[in-house]
Structure 1
């Protein structure tokens, strides 16, 4: 089966190096992401055992897209997607996209001076981990004017309010939080809050695919202002960072979908009914071909978005990925029959991951609404 590592010129870089990256990720995942190891990670209090995060850092993956001057490898979104796809195939529990792409990516855009020196090399080495609380408590996956308010008391900014479910927040060394600036509702700020800050409370959640997230409650919690601007300017900045995370999430989801497809294909090839393999049924063959084509079409769109993550391409990719994720798990269960619904069978973990992934960074409806607004000139 084709994956991101086998498409050459679309990534605009050396194909052999991409294949080596994807292959090394695949080999590591086969060894380190067994069902037993995933269960151990999921049972951890934050879903991210420190030793596992350090192992990802030693492989160079946490800093792959960070600038070389900041201790990273200076690669780009295409390389992140190569990794994300392989980690999605293996159902990695640790928050690679949430922290190594979203959190680190946003901090890279806004951090300066001593803060940058203190944080970016530590993120690349795995000594620190950062998450971005992007969403509001209403559950919307689209960015909007934040409900959190920031008030300046002397030389200290204090934040009060709430943020919605944030993957990777538990156990993170700091959180990035956007807030309205009190006294001027047309201006927003982006703040860094270190873990353990008085007034910061996390509501830990274990998601039904085994990964972890946490909601935030802020009561006069002190934060460091990283950047401020008009609401329009700040939302544009934040959407740009979020779009990079969405593309990586889509690559991760395609890896999961491909693995579920391979499991289903092998099942219908070997499962026999009425004296012949299920896969010899023409209707079954047509359904599998439809799934295969949908995955490849969405992968091509992912390649394009990774090379140039414009808003329209990312919205279109979100629509297609959500459809593929949902169609893949539905068909996988249908083609497996009753065994596909059992907890013990290998497919179950992939079904849960795909069901969550279809809506995690915005549902198909969310992305379709955004694409419509973009076409009408009403969104960013």
Structure 2
């Protein structure tokens, strides 16, 4: 199998790398994280100008018709630079839901604006009682004339405090843990009845707790079948996990490079600590864990567009297991090999480990996805 990038994909990788090298060093990132919106509007505009925000969108929707490989390239670069802009929330999650199941009117109203950097969106799905179960939805959508009334609570909505519009999951029928009876609805983030409490997450990103109380939306706000949205949610979540796996590879690669550079320069007992064989073995083990994670991230990327939900879910779950295990190992070794300085806010290695920890828990940690792989009978059924 040929894993080489095409000429266009190499150009994408080079252009994104140059942009982030110029505009997203560690000091610039700290200023962005400390700013009021929690991201850089200027960088977001540059993403739009380069076509990154429309990368996975179809050309007729104002995008560039890219696929999972292009998203992998972009997210890996974001992992290297610890990018905090709401790309996953807006383009991969909310944009993916509209791209896969939105009506022609919904796509025309949202996707070109996303590609142009004029619209930020968030996917309000997780609820406190659900943990990692995507089908556990207690928020309700009840018929209100020709429209719908939404009531409920959503938690850990990625970049939900700065979004212009929300995609909200709500139950139209059945009990809170039924797989059927779940719908998706487009909601103005500033609509009457919507309240948001934003907060910074440990990795420098933003999230929000969102309450919906008697929020009225028109009938055309429903995305697809308002009672059968779970397969769509699972599909887009799998795509988001594949993207996160690529970002994690970028994080791990940077942690490994920073640590090796530190071993080459830090001196103790009259020599560089990198000359000690025991520490060289640790650095080598970090490379092994990184390459294992890279292989599984590529596997998830290649399977993310599979029309077979079972095949896609097993591959993505397997990748998430390896990413979680490799990320923890590489992060722990990086912190320990740096010593006390690795724990300080002023030094960047700890920030990479925080992001890796968040990636491990987003959409299910390694233990959760190991259970999914087991339930599926393994990654390859023979």
Query: Which residue number corresponds to residue 5 of structure 1?
Result: none
**C-alpha distance in 1 between matches for 2:242 and 2:99:** 17
Q: How far 1:46 sits from its partner (Å)?
A: 3.5
**C-alpha distance in 2 between matches for 1:158 and 1:10:** 48
**C-alpha distance in 1 between matches for 2:335 and 2:182:** 46
Query: Which residue number corresponds to residue 334 of structure 1?
Result: 336
Which consecutive unaligned segments of at least 5 residues does structure 2 have? 305-311
Q: 2:98 aligns with which of 102, 107, 123?
A: 107
Q: How far 1:10 sits from its partner (Å)?
A: 2.6
**TM-score, normalised to structure 2's length?**
0.91
**C-alpha distance in 2 between matches for 1:322 and 1:93:** 20
**C-alpha distance in 2 between matches for 1:139 and 1:85:** 29
Query: Which residue number corresponds to residue 193 of structure 2?
Result: 199
Q: Note if 1:311 corresponds to 2:313.
A: yes
**C-alpha distance in 2 between matches for 1:62 and 1:301:** 25
CA contact (8 A) 1:176 1:191 kept: yes
Q: 1:238 aligns with which of 233, 250, 267?
A: 233
Q: CA RMSD in A?
A: 2.0
Residues 214 and 46 of structure 1: CA distance in aligned 2, closer, same or farther (over 3 Å)? farther
Q: Note if 1:219 corresponds to 2:213.
A: yes
Please list the CA deviations of residues 225-266 of structure 1 after superposition, one character each: whole Å capped at 9, or x if unmatched.
112255xx5322211110001010111111011111100000
**TM-score, normalised to structure 1's length?**
0.91
Segment drifting more, 16-25 vs 252-261: 16-25
Query: Which residue number corresponds to residue 126 of structure 2?
Result: 135
Which consecutive unaligned segments of at least 5 residues does structure 1 have? 1-7
Secondary structure at 2:184 match in 1: strand
Superposition map of 1:286-325 within 5 A? 286-309=281-304, 310-325=312-327
CA contact (8 A) 2:289 2:329 kept: no
CA contact (8 A) 2:130 2:137 kept: no
**C-alpha distance in 2 between matches for 1:70 and 1:36:** 36
**C-alpha distance in 2 between matches for 1:76 and 1:183:** 35
CA contact (8 A) 2:80 2:254 kept: yes
Q: Note if 1:87 corresponds to 2:78.
A: yes
How many residues get paired?
366
**C-alpha distance in 2 between matches for 1:190 and 1:345:** 42
Superposition map of 1:1-380 within 5 A? 9-10=2-3, 14-138=5-129, 140-182=131-173, 186-223=180-217, 224-228=221-225, 230=227, 233-309=228-304, 310-375=312-377
**C-alpha distance in 2 between matches for 1:33 and 1:222:** 41
**C-alpha distance in 1 between matches for 2:196 and 2:375:** 34
Q: How far 1:18 sits from its partner (Å)?
A: 1.9
Please list the CA deviations of residues 84-135 of structure 1 after superposition, one character each: whole Å capped at 9, or x if unmatched.
0011100111121222211111111111122211111111111112111231
Secondary structure at 1:291 match in 2: helix
Q: How far 1:200 sits from its partner (Å)?
A: 0.9
Secondary structure at 1:248 match in 2: helix
Residues 234 and 373 of structure 1: CA distance in aligned 2, closer, same or farther (over 3 Å)? farther
Secondary structure at 1:177 match in 2: strand
